[in-house]
Amino acid sequence: MIDAHVHLWDPAEREYPWMGPEVGELARRYGLDDLRGALASSGVTATVLVQATGSAEETTALLATAGASDGLISGVVGWADLQDSALPEHLAALRAGPHGALLRGVRHQVEDEPDPAWLERPAVLRGLRAVADAGLTFDVLVRPDQLASAARALAATPGLRAVLDHGGKPPLQGDLDAWWHGVDALAALPGVACKLSGMGTLTGSQASWDAAAPWAAALLRRFGPERCIAGSDWPVCTLTAGHADALAFVRATVAGLPEAEQAAVLGGNAAAFYGVSGGA
């Protein structure tokens, strides 16, 4: 199995603006040994390490950690300034640098941008084209009110392989209309996949895993098993459950599928999307 969404960080090394008092124990260092401990007896053979702050230095550090992981981290989704006119050169330098072959994609924490149409800004669209031209993927981390804009931006960027993180974070205790509309728009784009990740922390309580189950099933129907990817969102998932619980949620979501389709969601799709090894 591939866990296609894990994080490592160290607040003593760099700033993580989202780390407020409400994150509790998350506001500490999580390193490679912590990841190994979390994965013990999990059946996970490889992971994809995803950025957690808008920092080029973090991306360089994540690549170094991946390079020292003995294959446990098979790929890195780093950060890059999508509005930087020199983005193509920056991506080329990253890939030519230490452990640059492990860079598989780019993510920007769009959910923190006040502008609901941030991804449609001309400079950002140029950046997305640069990511596509570099042969890298794009992780889409957005709020529900940004989903429709994300779909338009991706439709305007042919050739960009993208994946929706955390199912677009359905507002389990709010208005689902914008989420439904945006998810349907993204699912209509054949180059867009969806991570069944991070859904058990949407309401900040253990009960949110049960509440999220129908929406995970809905995402599986919308995108199909050929475009859904398993991820734990560790260590964020530990706000409400353990790493094993997060993966059990995904396994339960796909339990009714034929064995080959379950294997695709639990590893094969991540291997193909990110170009990593370790699939089911």
**Tens digit of each residue's pLDDT (9 = 90 or more) over 57-88:** 999 999 999 999 999 999 999 999 999 999 99
Residue 203 has pLDDT above 70, yes or no: no
Helices (H), 156-242: 177-187, 207-223
Q: Is the pLDDT of residue 103 over 80?
A: yes
Distance CA 278, CA 221 (A): 25
Estimate to the nearest angstrom the gap between the alpha carbon of 251 and the chain centroid.
18
CA–centroid distance for 88 within its chain: 22
How do residues 254-264 score in pLDDT, each as one tens digit?
A: 999 999 999 99
Structure tokens at 277: 């090894």
Confidence at residue 175, expressed as pLDDT on a 0 to 100 scale:
77
Pairing of strands 137-140, 2-6: unpaired
Amino acid at 236: V
- Residue 230: name the closest of 183, 275, 280 by CA: 280
- For domain 2-274, the CATH class is alpha beta
Q: What is the pLDDT of residues 148-182, one digit of tens each?
A: 999 999 999 999 999 999 999 988 777 789 999 99
Domain boundaries, the chain: 2-274
Q: Which residues pair with 228 in a beta bridge?
A: 194
Paired with 76 in beta bridges are 49, 103
- Mean pLDDT over the full length of the chain: 94
Mean pLDDT over residues 173-201, rounded?
92
Rounded to two decimals, the pTM is 0.96
**Residue 234 DSSP one-character state:** B
Residue 279 has pLDDT above 70, yes or no: no
